Structure 1
């Protein structure tokens, strides 16, 4: 049985144009993927988490790498599927195993989407995404306190939610994944969560600030009770997911470009801003620059050495931006 399958991503360009991305994927695997399928976050003291396994699975599918896909899914199944439903435990550590059994919705969302794409687009014999999609719909969606008929995507199954206050992570709103999973699982609430989530992103952008975390209350947005109010490494993903979802025209994309632009006296990307919009941290890592290029309609490229010059998170975002450029809204 062939182990490297063609994918829409690889077929969308000539072989020479894809030599560098393919080599970059190999470099990413060499640094961050163990032979057993564990994705290692070297910026997080070598831990593994559901986000990394979900991202790794999606990358393997997009690059047509069935060996890596099956290894990642096998490790995930053995080590993170310890709950009664199909959602993953969030954190795993060497010699300790699972150290946080709670869920993180972005990891589950990307794992389910990768499984759906593998079966639907790559023709691989992958586990069904539908039970995961149904569990996300049942456990990780809550009514918007301002409009109870509208669903908000929660950051996890255990996240703060009640009729008066709901905690939201705007960077977990990946509309394309939610819509495709909602359609596949016949779960209209996921499609509605994508639509309403993008509305919320538009409201935040209009207010001038798309943060990492925000609480939605009966009277509007409020500083998150359990997190600092800032726009940082989480919020960087908002324009990435919107462009990937075909929403390049969304106001949060333009707001994302503004937020990423460096201060006058700095050369790196503005990766963190405080609640007043003041830049508190810059970075010149190419993965973060790729996000700005994607949002600003500039070229997105990747070289293998760039996987060796940056930690897990920006390196992974770099490859995801490349895929979004191929699959998302054109300029």
Structure 2
């Protein structure tokens, strides 16, 4: 049975966007475990499953976790490292990746829009929790530049480019559906008033209702939108999969109050398989020969209406990404008022 409240107006979501996170503390074992395993002392979040790089996705998520667990000291370290090492010149956005043990750790100045959104959202939540207008000012600058630099109108549908460079041609715009961060839009709209935030929700929902592929009707990791209009398609540049990116789509839909959307139900049906494969090929219907991580299983439990929602312990997570997905589900449950329970290791 799906979660309730699948559709809400932007105004109705505003109290949720600024609600204080559920009771949690900086001494919570799950947060301590995440810091110990995946965060360097200076505030760099380490992607242990991807060459120990750091990226704005991880920095933004860790900032959200620090607010949730009321850990201002860690928040300041994460934010400080992010601004020192990833802040772009000329705008308020961030370069998407930092690589260790190389002469030029930031070798690609391109941003990642989801990372920028998570950072801005965390800054707004931190500003509300700790009464710090300086954090809000940083978030406002990011929100303005997201709209100024990345907004595109594609055949009447508003989207944000996944990054400043490399995602549009004369005939198409490529988007990543896991970058549709539905639960953040109301907070950004309150901080940076602009009707385009509401359009991002409305138009993204419309896109996801038709951009479903393969045997299970799943959303893809990457999606091509024709500038002339018509049905979205799978771009050739990336594998045509419901995979490590797209698993976040049902989480973000449910977190944002859209849990009865078809993409959520499709993911739930796919994950109902006993083995719960890590990915599906949306052209051939082939599936991975290995299972989904504990973090993905937590998303499946959330959208499958398990109550309480079982959360995988950080100490048992295979890597940074699996641990992060589990904590994101914990934050979503806190925001939606859903009970959780820690699963056995």
TM, length-normalised to structure 1 = 0.87
Over 3 Å counting, the alpha-carbon distance change for 1:49 and 1:231 in structure 2 is same
Aligned to 1:10: 22
Aligned to 2:5: none
The whole-number CA distance in structure 1 between the counterparts of 2:131 and 2:190 is 18
Are 1:209 and 1:277, in contact at CA under 8 Å, matched by a contact in 2?
A: no
**Higher mean Cα deviation, 277-286 or 74-83?**
277-286
1:212 Cα deviation (Å)? 0.3
Change (3 A) 1:92 1:206: closer
Deviation track 1:188-216 (CA, whole Å, cap 9, x = no partner) reads: 21221122112211222488231000101
TM-aligned CA distance change 1:243 to 1:140, over 3 Å: same
Rate the CA distance shift 1:254–1:296 in 2: closer, same or farther, 3 A: same
Q: How far apart, in 1, do the equivalents of 2:152 and 2:170 lie?
A: 9
TM-score relative to the length of structure 2:
0.84
Distance (whole Å) between structure 2 residues aligned to residue 212 and residue 326 of structure 1: 26
State the Cα distance separating 1:125 from its structure 2 match.
5.1
Q: Is 2:60 aligned against 1:76? A: no
Distance 1:313 1:257 in 2: 20
Matched residue SS, 2:106 = strand
Matched, 1:135 2:141: no
Equivalent position to 2:335, from 307, 327, 330: 327
**Which one has a larger percent strand, Structure 1 or Structure 2?**
1
Q: 1:271 to 1:73 in 2, by over 3 A?
A: same
Check the 8 A contact 1:175/1:245 in 2, yes or no: yes
Structure 1 distance, partners of 2:338, 2:262, is: 16
Unaligned stretches of 5+ residues in structure 1: 1-6, 12-17
1:313 aligns with 2:325: no
2:120 pairs with 1:112: yes
Contact 1:260 1:271 in 2 (8 A): no
Number of aligned residue pairs: give it. 311
Structure 2: runs of 5+ lacking an equivalent: 1-18, 340-345
Q: 1:212 aligns with which of 193, 218, 221?
A: 221
Distance across 1 between alignment mates of 2:65 and 2:21: 10
Partner of 1:174: 181
Secondary structure of the equivalent of 1:143? strand
Superposition map of 1:1-331 within 5 A: 8-11=20-23, 22-96=28-102, 97-124=105-132, 126-127=134-135, 128=137, 129-144=139-154, 147-148=155-156, 150-162=157-169, 164-205=171-212, 208-217=217-226, 218=228, 219-262=230-273, 267-275=274-282, 276-283=284-291, 285-298=293-306, 299-302=308-311, 304=313, 306-328=314-336
**Partner SS for 2:279:** strand
**Aligned in 2, Cα 1:281/1:109: closer, same or farther, shift over 3 Å?**
farther
Shift of 1:248: 1.3
